[in-house]
Structures are given as structure tokens and as C-alpha cells.
Structure 1
């Protein structure tokens, strides 16, 4: 391999893609083809076809999803909280990305309105073109291209039953306005009397080197009366990924919705398993 002449991204040979690892090293992926490279006003967007993983999305050099296993991440993100709510009708998605969360949310027949907000329109457009279309043009979906912190600050519409916060986990990147106490305080104000919120909480496996997940957890604890954590292994991330659930007006995680048909990963057993955290992680979170 040739030496990398920048911190992340395609090797000059265009045969490898370098991603900084939280441990201080790199993960290096074998590239079959480069699908698209694009610099948006907010971040570098790379879609490359990788050996093993297929077409994959990188934002500023960080892997976001792969063709091979994106369904694992998105089913884990969406279904636990959708099932906890007794009748999820209005859903806010913070971070549209490839549109896969929209796909999962619309599996529930109770859903009448989805507002999906993303700061970077180019990510959504390129993902739909190269990573497979998702139902973001469904009549129930309204797309908004705006900083979601600004969106909720000015929001005066009907409250939301479910909120999915799936923004990038770089605390200093395009999503930095979301990783603030003020964001979650305002978010709480626009929730229904009974509401569920999920936040992707970054790497849990590398927890002793990654302050991000603990920072997010502490923010949520200051706002929500009930915050529960769950985690599972994401193969393409080579990592245990943590998610946080915030509950308003709901006091437990009892499933109140049936599992939608045709899911590839999530089922009743998975739902029970993911809420059982390993001892070091429980100790780190203080639960």
C-alpha cells in the first residue's frame, strides 16, 4: 500500500479507503470502484463500492452505512422505540441521510406524518441516486433541508409522538448544534404527552477512548425523566454501537406495537437481548 498523504479518504492509488479509528490507528478498506466524490457546503461525501460491504457511504471520511448491513443499524434504530409507543402518528427524523429510517418508520400503519430534516441536501440526493431509493417521496413524508436545531427552535406545528435523532456523531462537525443541552430541552417541549425518542449514541465498544456516548447520555439525563440504553454489534463498523431511549409520559419499554413483517434482523429475541448491557458499559453509564 502507498502511504496516505492526508488524514482520511481514498488512497492516491484509489484502491483503498482510509478511515481513522478511535484507537488512533486506521481502518483500511479495499475499494472495488469509486461511485461518486462530492464536496457539499457541509462535508465531503464519498460513495464507494467496497470489497465485502458493497456500496458504502462515507461522510468526511467516516463510514455511515454499507449496502451489506445497513438494515441492521436502521432496524435497531427505529423499531424498539416505534413499538414502545401506543400509537405513533407523527414522527420527526433528525438526519435523513440515505432515507433508510424513513423506510422503517413507514412500516407502521398508524403513522400519518413524517417530517424528515437534514442539513445536507446533497447527501440525500446522492444516496437516493446511488444507494437505492427509499420512500422519501411518500405522501406522508415532508422533507426539510435545514439545521434541525434551527428547525425545532422555530417549530409551531403539532407535537411529535416519536423522534429519531440520527445525526453524525462528530461533536464538532455539521451536527454540533444537535449535541447541545438546549437542543434536547427544546425537543422535549415539542413532544406529545406520550412520546419516545431515540438517539444514536456512537461507539460503545471503544468506550474508554470515546467520550461521545457518555456526553450524549448525560445530556439526555438532564431532560428526560426516563433514559434507557441499548446496544448491538454493527458488523461494518466493527463496533458495538449504543442507542439511547428517552421517554415522556411512558414509564417502561413494554412493546405496544406488533413487529412489522419482512424485517431482516430485528425480532422479539433481539429486542430482549439488546437491552442487556455488559458490566463495563453499565458501570461507565452508572446504571
Structure 2
């Protein structure tokens, strides 16, 4: 339980490009806190100058985050409020802050989100891909072998897949997406909320051709989105592994409905198909 006499850490989302996307609440909080912990103090100082405010600013990035915990905790213990910001968007989403937030929450400090811009949400909202379920994977590995291995582990996922990528790796990543996902539909979002915001969609090979024809399309930061795999259908003849799982669950007294749900979660496919097979096994067919 947090102590009402201590300060709060505000996790403040900042614009990913267009400064008009900063919420009035975020501007107010940044103007009221005693300290702003920023991924890049130079970048954040420009935003603060734009707002006409001048709180104290310290750096907090992947190389010094653990060492900042005590300093920030001391400010909170003294009753001061602190804001955490990243260079753009929502802190902790592929940005520093996890170590700080985890430790402060463990100590009972108040951590309050001030929501706003987030590149992955903005990209998904305009991509035309399914958003009822999606899997965010942050940045893919920089080396090709590790990158392809990560993609191969995701190729059968039915959710829309979302990645961040940098301009100097985008073409190599698209080449690996072509190898692993083939003709699966992709959407590239770049320079979100900025003057040259662009959405490109097509197969990986088609997008590579677009970037080669217009090198300007390879500039800026990217959100890469991949259509989820088509739902897997379970054939009329279930595998021995699947039958063994269902039979084991039924033998332990698990109901047909619950066994079907477990099989769908673990093996994929439609729950109603597993229900029918589980009922067959229960009836001795």
C-alpha cells in the first residue's frame, strides 16, 4: 500500500511526432513535477522548452536505469513528484522504465500512468488488420539467424503480429519475412503522425520492391505488422498426441467441454472440433 505523504511517479506518454498529440494532462503534470527522468535529456529538453516549462531533468536509459532507482525513490520519499518519459510515445513500450517501475511498486510507491501516444496502437488502428488479438514483439534481433528463428517461432500464431524496426534493418527484415511468411499480408507504418506518414501494405516481396523503387520509403522508424495465420483446422482423424491428451484429461475426470477447451488452447484449432472428438473418446468410439 502506498503512503499518501510520499510523491508519485507519473509515467507520461509524449508525442511520437506531432506535438499536438501531447494531452493537456501530460503538459500539466510535466509542469508540476519536481523532476523529469528522460531517456535522452536533450530530446526531452526541446519538448519542455516548447511547453515553456523548466523542471529539473535527469537521464534514465538502459545503461543507468538501475542506478537511478535510489535517487528517484529518495525524491518520492521526500514528497516530490517525478515524471518518467521516453524519447517518444509511452515509456516502457520497447523503452526504458521497467526496472524503475517494478522496483518502486515493490517499495509501495505510487506509480500513475498518464496515457497518450503509442506507436504500435496508432499503427494498428489504421492498418486494416485484425485487432481483437495481437502480439507485440518489440524489436526483432539484429542478426539474421536469430531474427529468422524468432519469426519461425511466430509463423503459426493466429494473432496479428507487431514489430518495431529501424531504417537500416528494414529491408533485411522484410527479406526474412518473405522467407518465413511467404505471401502473408504485411503493413508497414512509418513516420507516424509526422509530415511523411505512410502506410504500405502487400506481401514482403511487394514491399521490398516498393522500397527499392523509392528509397525515401526506407527512411524513418517503422511499425511492421503481419497478418495472423489462418486458423488451423483439425482433421477428422485426430493425431495420436491429441487423442492421448484428451484421453488423459477425461480419465482424470475433466469434463468434455473443459477438455476441449484445453486442447484448443494447447494445440490450436476450433474448440467445437475438439469437443466432438472428446465426446467420441468418452463414448468409446
Relative to the length of structure 1, the TM-score reads 0.29
More helix by percentage = 2
Higher CA-based Rg:
2
Relative to the length of structure 2, the TM-score reads 0.29
More strand by percentage = 1
